[in-house]
Amino acid sequence: MKDIKTLVIHPTDKSTDVLSVIYENRGWPVITERIPRDELKELIKQHDRIVMLGHGSPSGLFGHGGMVIDHSFAHLLREKYIVCVWCNSDKYVLRHKLNGFYTGMIISEYGEARAYSVLTESGDVELSNKLFCKAVADAVDDLTQVDKIVEDYTVEMNDVIAFNMKNIYHTPILKRNKPLDILVDFDGTCVTHDYPRIGRDIGAVPVLKALVSNGHKLILFTMRCDTETTYKLAEAVAWFHENDIPLFGIQTNPSQHKWTTSPKAYGQLIIDDIGLGTPLKYDPLMSNRNFVDWVKVKEWLTNKDLI
């Protein structure tokens, strides 16, 4: 893994300065201060391995008085090799199906030792922190060897180390499903039925963005069309543009002409409110017709490992 592009996210906090041993003198870009979330997401997209260090919880990585990494980053991190060193990062990693090196509860302060009824003597926590960071730093180019990391970490032993050594994990880099060409209807699917107007938001945007972020290609497949005097299809296309959702095709798959003359748009999946089995909801305050239930669509896509 020596040649992969690595980004370090280590929010400034004196109590976690010891973790800098893991990345010092490696020339990797290190984010320590607060930056706009969109900017951080773009940086994550540009790197292969994301190293996240500091304090946190099952919800993500803390920093600057709030959350630096939370659930909204999960779809990006799922495509990366991750290194998560914060308390209970295992819950975050497993919930979001991430791949890489991570920790459960790691005692790094005397207050944490007391909270977990771990007996300590002077210097125990400092020794544990030093050995842990050195073991991870020495193995950072191949963190799959957890047994070796634990072996190096436990060259000296105390109750803190004995507690922590059980909470060091690694998951293999799982093979993701291949990206799909996905046909997406518009009225009743992306928005409520209100043709010829554009309907109301029904929660499609974040799920469609997650599909694109996971490499899938979207093809708008709708009954809307343009005439000499009306531009109803163009208005639907504009909706995607305004919501920053790129389209691979409009009414047809632009790659299918290479192997077929069929007029039917090719795709491996279709999301359409009239499709058999598509989860729908009804809310008379929003529309007098059923529309796609994107909460359930997201659950299905997640379970199928598509987002």
Task: Give the CA dihedral 55, 59, 64, 69, nearest 10 degrees.
Answer: 100
Low-confidence ranges of the chain (pLDDT < 50): 1-2
For 47-72, the pLDDT digits (tens) are 999 999 999 999 999 999 999 999 99
Delineate the domains of the chain, giving CATH numbers in brackets. Answer: 6-170 (3.40.50), 181-303 (3.40.50.1000)
The DSSP result for 206-232, as a single string, is HHHHHHHHTT-EEEE--S--B-SS-BH
Residues paired with residue 8 on neighbouring β-strands, in sequence order = 30, 51
Q: Is 183 exposed, middle or buried (0-12, 13-18, 19+ CB in 10 A)?
A: buried
Per-residue confidence (pLDDT) for residue 147, from 0 to 100: 86
User: According to the model, what pLDDT value does residue 166 have?
Assistant: 95
At residue 3, the pLDDT reads 65
- Predicted structure pTM score: 0.60
CA separation for the pair 136, 22 (Å, rounded): 6
> What integer pLDDT is reported at residue 172 of this predicted model?
65
Kind and range of the H or E run holding 161: helix 159-164
pLDDT of the residue at 146: 86
Contact 41, 76 (CB under 8 A): yes
pLDDT at position 183: 97
